[in-house]
Amino acid sequence: MRKILYILLFLPLFLTSCIEIIDDLSLNADGSGTFKYTINLSSSKVKVNTLLKLDSLNGKKMMKLPEIKTKINQFKTALASQPGISNVKIETNDIEFIIKLSCDFKNIEKLQESIKNSLASIDSEIKNSSDFSFNWVSWNGSKFERSIPDFSQNQLKDLKAEDLNLLNNGSYTLISRFYKPINKCDNQGASISKSRTAVMLKANTYSLTKNTKILENTIYLDQK
Contact between 188 and 208 under an 8 Å Cβ cutoff? The reply is no
Query: Which residues lie closer than 8 Å to 153 by C-beta, 6 or more apart?
Result: 209, 210
Which has more confidence, 145 or 94? 145
Domain that residue 73 falls in: 4-221
Contact between 143 and 218 under an 8 Å Cβ cutoff? The reply is yes
Contact between 48 and 99 under an 8 Å Cβ cutoff? The reply is no
- pLDDT winner (highest mean) among 1-5, 186-190, 207-211: 186-190
The CA distance from 208 to 194, in Å, is 27
Beta-bridge partners for 192: 199
The CA distance from 114 to 106, in Å, is 11
- Name the nearest CA neighbour of 23 among 176, 218, 209, 131: 176
Confidence of residue 6 (pLDDT cuts 50, 70, 90): very low
* pLDDT value of position 150: 59
Q: Give the chain's domain count.
A: 1
- Range 48-59 average pLDDT: 74
Q: At what angle do helices 65-80 and 108-122 cross, to 10 degrees?
A: 140
Beta-bridge partners for 203: 172
Contact between 149 and 134 under an 8 Å Cβ cutoff? The reply is no
- pTM, to two decimals: 0.86
Tens-digit pLDDT profile for residues 80-107:
999 999 999 999 898 888 889 999 999 9
Helices (H) and strands (E) in the chain, counts: 7, 13
Task: State the pairing for strand pair 191-192/198-203.
Answer: antiparallel
